[in-house]
A and B are shown apart, each in its own frame.
Chain A
C-alpha cells in the first residue's frame, strides 16, 4: 500500500512541480515504485518537467470520468521503469473534479505503488483542497520570502484544520550568501515563524532551470549538489535519518575577511 504525499505551497512558482519531479525520480532511483500525480488541472506542468508531454493520451479527468482505465492513463518515465506519471487534464477546468472523486482515485493508486506524490496547484481554493484530500502526509514548499512564508503559514493552518497532521517543510531557492549579508531570511527565521519540521533545504541553482528546459530532472545528474540535496530528502521520506546540514556555497574572499574581523568562521 502506497504512502500518499502531497506537495503544496500556497504561493505559486516556489518549486512544487520541480520538487515533485525530483523527489518522484529520486524515490524511483532508490528502488521504490512511484506514481507522480499532476493535480494542477488546467495548468499542467509536471509532464513537461519530466519530459513526457508527448506521451500523454489520457489524463486524470479521463480516469475519473471513466473514459479509460487507470493503467491506460499512467505514463512510464523515460529514465526510470519504476516511475509513472498521471498527468493533469489541460483542457478541463479545475472544478472538473470533486474532493470525493480525488480521494477515490488516490485510493485506487495506493495498490499500484510504494509512493504516490501529488503536485498541488497554488492557492487555497478547490484545486488545493482536492490535492490534499487523499494525502497521508503533506510537504510544504516555501522560498525564503516574506510573502511565500505568509502563504505557507496559511496553508499549514488549513492542513491542520483538515486533519492532515504535521506537514513538513522544504525551503527552496535559499541563497546562503544573501542570508549571510542579511538580505534574505535564514532557515532559523523561517522555522521560528512556521514552527514545523524541516525535511530539506534546496539552494537557488540555475541548473534547475536548464534541467527543466531539457525535460530532465536534476537528481539524474550525479555531479549536481542540488540533485544530492533532493536525494537526501527522498531518503528522509523513506524513513532514513539523515542530518540536515546547512547548504554550502563558497563565501567570497571579502566575506571571509570581514567574517574574520567579526570573529566568525
Chain B
C-alpha cells in the first residue's frame, strides 16, 4: 500500500508529510482518514502539513482549509516548495512557509520518550511514539501516544496507546488500575474490583483489549 501520509515529530508538534507524487484526491482521502483515526493525539498538537513540490488549485486548497478548520482551532501551518501554493494558502489564512532546510530540521520518525514525573488530574501528556513514564498517572489524568505506553508506577487515569490506529501497541504498568484503557480504536473499562496490585500488560486480542498479569504474558 502506498504511504500517502508520513508523520514526523517536529519540535513542539507534528509534521504530516503528504506524498507529492500521487493523485491529490488519494492523498486527501488518506489525510482525512489519518486525522479521524488519530484525533485523540492530533487534536492536542501543533500540526503542520508538508505538501512538498505539489501544486494545488485554489479549490483544492480551499477544501483543505475547510477540513483543517473543522478539525482543530489551532492554526495549521502549510509547508510547500511552491511559491504559488504558499501565496494562495496565505490568502486563506494559513501560515505558509517553505519546508525547513534539511540540516536545521529536528525531526524523527517516531521517538520513544522517557518522562520522570507524575501526571496529575487535569493534565494530558501526548506523544508521537512510545512513552516510558517513571511516575504515576493519577485519576483524572491522561496519556495519549501513537505507540505503546509503559508506566513504572500506578495508573489510575486514562491511557490511550496506538492512538493513530496501531493495534499492536501495548499498555503496561506496575499497577494498572486505570479508569479506562484504549488501544487504537478499542476501549476497555477497569473491572469494578480493583483487586490486582501486580504488574500487568494490556494488548489487543482479536476484537477486544485483554489484560494479563505480567508474569503470565507470552508474546
Contacts and interface: CB of A to CB of B under 8 A. Distances in A.
Contact of A157 (B123, B139, B154, B156): B123
A151 B121 contact: yes
Interface in B85-138: 118, 120-123, 136, 138
A156 B135 CA distance: 15
A154 B154 CA distance: 17
A124 B122 CA distance: 11
Contact of B140 (A124, A150, A160): A150
Interface residues of B, number: 11
Interface in A151-177: 151, 153-154, 156-158, 160
A254 interface: no
Contact of B139 (A124, A150, A156, A192): A150
A193 interface: yes
Main secondary structure of the interface of B (DSSP, over half): loop
B54 to A, nearest CB: 40
Interface range for A:
10 to 19
Contact of A150 (B118, B121, B123): B121
A95 to B, nearest CB: 22
Contacts of B118: 195
Contacts of A192: 154
A157 B122 contact: yes
Contacts of A154: 120-122, 140
A124 B123 CA distance: 13
Interface in B22-67: none
A235 B138 CA distance: 32
Interface of A: 124, 150-151, 153-154, 156-158, 160, 192-193, 195
Given A156-B120, A193-B136, A193-B138, 18 more contacts: A124-B122, A150-B121, A150-B138, A150-B139, A150-B140, A151-B121, A153-B122, A153-B138, A153-B139, A153-B140, A154-B140, A157-B120, A157-B121, A157-B122, A158-B122, A192-B154, A193-B139, A193-B156
